[in-house]
Structure 1
Amino acid sequence: VAVCIPIDVETKQIMLVSSRSTPDQWILPKGGWESDETKERSAEREAWEEAGVVGEIVREIGIWNTFSKKRPDKAKLQFTVYELQVRQCHDVWPEQSFRRRQW
C-alpha cells in the first residue's frame, strides 16, 4: 500500500481526508498500485483522487508492516509512506463526493 503525506510547502500543514468507510475518521491518502506504475506514482495518484492535491514526491519516509484488521486471514500488509510537496489544491477532484479534506 502506498501512503502519501501531502504537505503545503508554505504553511507546513498536512492534508487529511475523511475515510470512506468511517467518514468521521481522518486519514492520509493511500491505496494499492497498478501493475504499470511505481509506488511513488501510486502515492501521487491517490493524493489526487482522494484529496485533490497535485505535487511532487520528495522522499520516502519509511515502511510500516502490520496485519489486516478487516480480512479474516489477517494478511500481512506493508505500507510505504511518501512525502508529497503540494503544488496545487484543486476545487474539483475525483472523490470529492465521497470524502472531505482538511489541512
Structure 2
Amino acid sequence: QVSVCIPVDREHGRVMLVSSRSRPNEWILPKGGWESDESKERSAEREAWEEAGVLGQITRQVGVWIKPSKKHAPRIKSRFSVYELEVRETRDVWPEQS
C-alpha cells in the first residue's frame, strides 16, 4: 500500500516533482507507505513534506493504480492511492533533501 502525492501549485501554475541522487535524470511524484497511526491522505501530505519540502492540504483523491505481480499474476504487488495536494508553502530545507 502506497500513498502518492501530486503537489499542485496553482499560484504558479505548476505540478511539483522530485528527483533523487540514485536517479538524477528522472522526475517522480512524492510517495511512500503510511504509518499505522495515520490515514492515506495524511501519509501523502507527509511524503510531500519529507521528499519535496512542500506543505499543503489534500484536496481530493485522484484515483487508485494497481501494479500487478509479474511473478504471481493475478496477485497485486502494490496498490497506489493517488491524491492531489494544494501547495501552500515550499521550504528551502526538508527532511530527505539531497
Q: Relative to 1, partners in 2 of residues 1:60 and 1:20: Cα closer, same or farther, differing over 3 Å?
A: farther
Where structure 2 has 5 or more consecutive residues not aligned to the other structure, the ranges are none
Q: How far did residue 52 of structure 1 move?
A: 0.1
Where structure 1 has 5 or more consecutive residues not aligned to the other structure, the ranges are 98-103
Q: Does 1:39 align with 2:6?
A: no
Q: Which runs of 4+ in 1 moved over 3 A?
A: 72-75
Q: 1:101 matched to which residue of 2? A: none
Q: How far did residue 51 of structure 1 move?
A: 0.3
- The 5 Å alignment of 1:40-79 reads 40-67=41-68, 76-79=77-80
Identical counterparts, % of pairs: 67
Q: 2:4 matched to which residue of 1? A: 3
Tell me how far apart the structure 2 counterparts of residues 17 and 65 of structure 1 sit (CA, whole Å): 22
Deviations 1:31-73 (A, max 9, x none): 000000000000000000000000000000000001367xx76
Q: How far did residue 89 of structure 1 move?
A: 0.3
Code of the residue aligned with 1:28 in structure 2: it is L
| Matched residues, number | 95
CA RMSD of aligned residues (A): 1.9
Aligned residue for 1:17, secondary structure, equals coil
Q: 1:100 matched to which residue of 2? A: none
Tell me how far apart the structure 2 counterparts of residues 19 and 64 of structure 1 sit (CA, whole Å): 23
Aligned residue for 2:24, secondary structure, equals coil
Tell me how far apart the structure 1 counterparts of residues 21 and 4 of structure 2 sit (CA, whole Å): 16
